[in-house]
Structure 1
Amino acid sequence: MPDLSVVIPTLNEEQHLPHLLDDLSRQQSIQLEVVVADGGSSDTTRSVAEQYSARVVESAAGRGRQMNAGARAASASMLLFVHADSRIPDPRQLEQALRVLGWCSRQTGGGMVAGHFSLRFIGSAADRRAFRFLEAKTRLNREQTISGDQGLLLLRRSFEELGGFDESLPFLEDQRLAELIWRSATWLLLPGVIETSARRFAREGITERMILNMLIMALFSLGENRCLAGIHSLYREQSVTGPPDLARVFRRLNRELHRRPALEWPTLWTRVGRYAAANLWQLNLAGGGPRYGTFSADSYHGRHWTGTTLHRFSRSALAAMFGAFVSLVWFYGAWARYEIRRLMRGETAPRP
């Protein structure tokens, strides 16, 4: 019986998968089972997996569906979900992660515990400042800072009790599971780093990708699933061709807003303002956040955020009102900026 089953969702990952499988083959003091859950690759992904003696499971496309299928096929009592473009550079990283997770579980009296790693982006040196900010967020045990890129380690029993990954939307399955874990379990920052490809940022543009991520996470937090589905359909159309058409995304969101009765607009923007105020803590990461390799990162916020003037302000009604105003101005200002860019390129406006 393996100590750990590693589940990797894939779709045309012949370039990245061999590097991850190499890293897994070098892991020491641990017996691994590797399950590649393929969503219908048209390249050599499946044959690459078989060359490394990984078990290949075929599934309908969709990361949540694929990882659920991989979990059902796995045989170990511990599961690690990791993306195909990840690297695990330390040969003892997974053995140490299991040991730390077991220790934490014992400390909580056998309670449900899930772990994630911090991230290091593999990308252009010119984008290091933005990457440092994103990396710092992964070293915090805060809501909405944990994603599938960081790996997800937990007991199979816990995964099944949580209901697995949500398959109702073709993305954000990691955020939905992370939210369930926040409600009923303990999140643990594991020792070690997962290196991840910055290919999305390189292809789409780092600013454009960060804006799109911000919009998606705001809609997710506000429960705006209809808007999320619309954004995903646009993004899926554009993702193979280059940067997301943010003018079209803003246009779609504005159309959804104007479908609502005008009396609902103040309530909606107040909710947006509360969300913006609740995320003021991100301004506190200018110094880079907690160091790599610590699994007590919760204490960072206790020292550098909780009780500060900005923290107290973020919890006030004034902050929500200010956040609503700033968000409104930013939304229409950013939309205008990307529409002007489109016009300067001589493009006509497509349907939203």
Structure 2
Amino acid sequence: MKPNNSQKISIIIPVLNEEHYIGTLLSHLNQNATASNIVEILCVDGGSRDHTQGIAKYHGAKVIKTRKGRAKQMNHGAKYAQGDILYFLHADTFPPEHFDKMILNAVENGFETGCFRMQFDTKNLFLRFFAWFSRINHSLCRGGDQSLFVTQDIFKQTTGFNEAYLIYEDTEFIRRLYKHARFKVLPNYVVTSARKYRELGLLRLQFHFAMIHLKNYLGAGPDELYRYYRKNILTGSDAIQSSISRSA
């Protein structure tokens, strides 16, 4: 089915010191989508001290500044977005060719929110095993690295990302989306960076991600989750921007 050409997509990318990725990502987006389907690309900057903003502008993205914190940044981007569909994307995650048409087709077929399956940029069998679960259409298998599309109407109905979550914001929001709309897992793959695993070690990081998922399941709130993250995973000033749900 051909997508409804009256609907347009706003791509929202939260960034913080992403000069090594953002230019490559924006070039990739421009090369793998139909320009008429994308009304804008918004890079929502949380205070970068490198060349992220300049690179983003050079590649045609609009830069919006706000406070650091991915939930705050994505909500801020959504506030200014003009598209009918919001597509949230991490700076180190690369969507498949014609991702825009796939999203528009899904919405046209009644799926108001969804994501892609995920692969890591490595052939490591350990990470490939966990990435395999991204094909399962269940909220337990969701994470921000799979990217996320949602219509403006559903985003507003669900009040967007909960800014109390300094981590786990993607997973918390997606679980609410499952309760409000038909969620579609598209069969194609985004490719996301395994840089955090390379920095901290595969087993160590996966263990701590599993513990955070377990803590959340047992009722831990955003403050408790962040304290655990800060103690066991936080490695630098930009670590708050790192996804806590790569294991989905």
Instruction: Compute the TM-score of the two structures, normalised by the length of structure 2.
Output: 0.87
The one of 95, 103, 112 equivalent to 1:97 is 103
**Residues of 2 paired with 1:202 and 1:61: CA distance?**
24
Q: Residue by residue, what CA displacement relative to the aligned partner does 1:244-279 show, whole Å, maximum 9, x if unpaired?
A: xxxxxxxxxxxxxxxxxxxxxxxxxxxxxxxxxxxx
* Distance in 1, Cα, partners of 2:82 & 2:113: 18
Q: Which residue of 2 aligns with 1:44?
A: 51
Q: 1:97 is matched by which residue type in structure 2? A: I
Q: Distance in 2 between matches of 1:145 and 1:30?
A: 32
Match of residue 205 from structure 1: 201
Q: Partner amino acid for 2:214?
A: A
Q: Percent identity?
A: 28
Instruction: Provide Cα deviations, 1:184-236, integer angstroms capped at 9, x if missing partner.
Output: 22211114211100000100101011001000000111111253132133246
Is residue 59 from structure 1 mapped to residue 55 from structure 2 by the alignment?
Answer: no
Matching residue of 1:108? none
Kept in 1, the 8 Å contact 2:16–2:238? The answer is no
Where 2:126 maps in the other structure, the secondary structure is helix
Q: Which runs of structure 2 are paired with 1:45-194 in the superposition (5 Å)?
A: 45-90=52-97, 92-105=98-111, 113-123=112-122, 125=123, 128-194=124-190
Deviation at 1:77, TM superposition (A): 1.0
Which of these residues, 209, 229, 232, is aligned with residue 232 of structure 1?
229
CA drift of 1:240 comes to: 6.5
**Unaligned residue ranges in structure 2 (runs of 5+):** 1-5, 240-248
Give the corresponding residue for 2:3: none
SS in 2 for 1:238: coil
- Write the distance in 1 (CA, Å) between the matches of 2:195 and 2:24: 15
Q: CA–CA distance in 2 between the matches of 1:180 and 1:211?
A: 25
Mapped to 2, the partners of 1:86 and 1:6 lie a distance apart of: 13
Alignment of 1:233-252 (within 5 A): 233-235=230-232, 237-239=234-236
Aligned partners of 2:74 and 2:161 also within 8 Å: yes
CA RMSD of aligned residues (A): 2.0
Give the partner amino acid of 1:22.
S
- Structure 1 residue 116: deviation in Å? 0.5
TM-aligned CA distance change 1:2 to 1:48, over 3 Å: farther
Q: Which runs of 5+ in 1 are unaligned?
A: 106-112, 243-352
Give the match's secondary structure for 1:8. strand
The structure in which a higher percent of residues are strand is 2
**TM-score normalised over the length of structure 1:** 0.62
Which of 206, 219, 223 is equivalent to 2:219? 223
SS at match of 2:140: coil
Q: Which has the higher contact order (CA 8 A, sep 6+)?
A: 2
Shift of 1:95: 1.2
Structure 1 residue corresponding to 2:15, chosen from 10, 16, 38: 10
Distance (whole Å) between structure 1 residues aligned to residue 95 and residue 149 of structure 2: 14
8 Å Cα contact 2:10-2:85 kept in structure 1:
yes
Taking the aligned partners of 1:55 and 1:240, their CA distance within structure 2 comes to 24
